[in-house]
Amino acid sequence: MSYDIVAWTDGGCRGNPGPGGWGMILVNAASRDALERCGGEANTTNNRMEITAAIMVLRTLKKPGLSVQIRSDSQLLIKAATEWIPGWKKRGWRRKEGELLNAELWQELDRLMATQRTAWHWVKGHAGDPGNERADQLTNQAMDAVQAGRNAEWSNRTRWTGALS
């Protein structure tokens, strides 16, 4: 299947909780124009940053109804987005076992997914996928900025030269 948008996301944390960052690359499949973004928080968790990266991809898209593939190395993010969210919603945003951590982020992700035709694809982290490697670099850039007390928000427009399939 071809997609209008292909995106890679990553999130990380130094300590858990601790200073964290997220990174994303969003590529228009037709034009190959790309947007790279990152940001972070001083006291967060790895999972919050993984979810935030995906939310930022979907928030960036202003036109509804696009076919979007989000590629992530987070099994938790992929499983939640593709399997678990419907059950959480039925239980009032709770897990069978009780409290759902990061419920407000999962709710926002669910709301944003409904505006696009969102597909998910797991990629193995640190295994040479150019998009995943770049998202990881952006995540580390954001974590470095947070640790140094600088603004972690950064964006850049570029042209994607890597594969999209």
**Alpha-carbon Rg for the chain in angstroms:** 15
- Kindly name the residue from 97, 126, 128, 149 that is annotated as catalytic: 126
Q: Are 143 and 14 in contact (CB under 8 A)?
A: yes
Active-site residue identified among 10, 36, 41, 129: 10
Q: Where are the alpha helices (DSSP H) in 43-151?
A: 46-60, 75-79, 85-90, 103-113, 130-147
**Cβ neighbours around 55 below 10 Å, total:** 20
Q: How far is 142 from 12, CA to CA, in rounded Å?
A: 9
Q: Is 110 a catalytic site residue?
A: no
Catalytic choice (11, 12, 20, 39): 11
Query: Residue 126 catalytic?
Result: yes
Candidates 36, 41, 73, 129; catalytic one: 73
Q: Which of 2, 110, 6 is nearest to 57 (CA)?
A: 6
**Cβ(22)–Cβ(53) under 8 Å?**
yes
121 included as an active-site residue: no
33 is catalytic: no
Rounded to whole angstroms, how far apart are CA atoms 29 and 87?
33
Annotated catalytic residue, options 36, 41, 50, 129: 50
Return the active site residues.
10-11, 50, 73, 126, 136
